Structure 1
């Protein structure tokens, strides 16, 4: 199985090297292609720096993965995933692995996540897809993330469905405090809230504040809620498709 490993924290982040090692150890044919610098919040945008119509990229090496191709690409994670499915980095991937992200990707705010955006882009093109995040911007417990990621990767290789994404978040806690990995629905809020302040001609003041699951009612069983209680969360996502349950039959206009 051919695996594209990507992220939105940049090719030099610790999380992506760990994910690549896990994929390689699982017997996957791994190629790494990730942004040359951090592209957090890129969602599924298809943006890049080009030179004479060519996507700019350079080679990197992961010392503990000799022989594995590593590309630093001057593009958004979703664009990297998009061109990979057309053979930009060798044979098209059967699975897109995105992460391990520094910070949680929970709730409806996954709409803005470059980590999830890359996975959804791959899924839209028919791959299996896994997005993995560690629930802090300054991770310490990578051994916990490794155990959770290995469980998720084994599951999706055996049971995953092309066109869907398994979105996994691990708490940044010692491994002996981890309760396990469990399915959970998306929270109705995201990890960060925008607060709009002073506005004037030519500017608006915007600040961002972290939201905690225990600040919201009815959140205990959501992805954000189970993280607070020492569980890793798993949520199945589907790439955007037609909303067949919405009746728009009255929108019928002819000139």
Structure 2
């Protein structure tokens, strides 16, 4: 299997190197004629945003293990003992060979909607790419909180294939955040530009069950998301597309005299 003909794309995620969504995304990029490198956390790194936690002790060394994934034999693949934000930064600095032209992050197990995307390692990886001048897309499959088999990763991969020309037409410093309903691949889908909801559909509940302990659990958010937002449209079966700015200064806010 060769992937040396098209743009160089880095495939990463926050669910870890063995995620079925990562493999589906890599196959999509290969089928689209891209030169693929896979580099993902050696273990799950969800909720790490654009964090750079990786180095052990004072040596600042990060373990990188060459791997082969089933059905992706021959593709340059690394399991990295780091968060996805670090992996993308390292790739953009030449740590995995030639700097990628595109970063595709996902396919995430669960939607990334609303302002809560700031916490997502999947989105954080894409934002890190944008800071470094690389086009990026974060893609997530709306699988909810359960761990049922038979998720439709191929549906999300098909969506990515359709959206690659859209991504290439966007500015390099824009992240395209995409959420896909978990439906069979032959289901007709409507693609819709969407605003960010105030909150995501799944929220963290923080409890303190005893002294010295803080415990978090994921729960379904109360209330209905505002019409036209990514959370509302995804719940209605739409594929939602939301362009995100990476880190820039706010030029419109009131600036009191100093």
Q: Give TM-score, length-normalised by structure 1.
A: 0.90
Please list the CA deviations of residues 18-75 of structure 1 after superposition, one character each: whole Å capped at 9, or x if unmatched.
1111111111111111100000000011100437432111011134333320000000
Aligned counterparts, 1:71-150, within 5 A: 71-137=78-144, 138=147, 140-150=151-161
Distance 2:219 2:52 in 1: 27
Please list the CA deviations of residues 203-233 of structure 1 after superposition, one character each: whole Å capped at 9, or x if unmatched.
3454431227xx315x232111111111111
Distance 1:205 1:65 in 2: 38
Cα distance change, pair 204–22 in 1 and its aligned pair in 2 (3 A): closer
In 2, are the aligned partners of 1:15 and 1:101 still within 8 Å (CA)? yes
Which of 192, 195, 198 matches 1:188? 198
Cα distance change, pair 189–178 in 1 and its aligned pair in 2 (3 A): farther
In 2, are the aligned partners of 1:148 and 1:181 still within 8 Å (CA)? no
In 2, are the aligned partners of 1:109 and 1:191 still within 8 Å (CA)? no
Displacement after TM superposition at 1:201 (Å): 4.1
Instruction: Report SS of the residue matched to 1:117.
Output: helix
In 2, are the aligned partners of 1:18 and 1:100 still within 8 Å (CA)? yes
Instruction: Report SS of the residue matched to 1:118.
Output: helix
Aligned counterparts, 1:236-247, within 5 A: 236-247=243-254
Please list the CA deviations of residues 108-142 of structure 1 after superposition, one character each: whole Å capped at 9, or x if unmatched.
01010000000000000000000000011546122
Displacement after TM superposition at 1:198 (Å): 4.9
Larger CA deviation: 145-154 vs 101-110: 145-154
Aligned counterparts, 1:222-241, within 5 A: 222-241=229-248
In 2, are the aligned partners of 1:85 and 1:93 still within 8 Å (CA)? yes
Instruction: Report SS of the residue matched to 1:54.
Output: coil
In 2, are the aligned partners of 1:177 and 1:230 still within 8 Å (CA)? no
Please list the CA deviations of residues 130-165 of structure 1 after superposition, one character each: whole Å capped at 9, or x if unmatched.
0000011546122321221211223213x1211110
User: 1:202 — aligned with what?
Assistant: 212
Structure 1 segments unaligned to the other structure (5+ residues): none
Distance 1:92 1:209 in 2: 39
Displacement after TM superposition at 1:197 (Å): 4.3
In 1, are the aligned partners of 2:24 and 2:154 still within 8 Å (CA)? no
In 2, are the aligned partners of 1:178 and 1:231 still within 8 Å (CA)? no
User: 1:216 — aligned with what?
Assistant: 224
Cα distance change, pair 70–152 in 1 and its aligned pair in 2 (3 A): same
Structure 2 segments unaligned to the other structure (5+ residues): 1-6
Point out 4+ residue stretches in structure 1 off by more than 6 angstroms: none
In 2, are the aligned partners of 1:34 and 1:80 still within 8 Å (CA)? yes
Cα distance change, pair 222–82 in 1 and its aligned pair in 2 (3 A): same
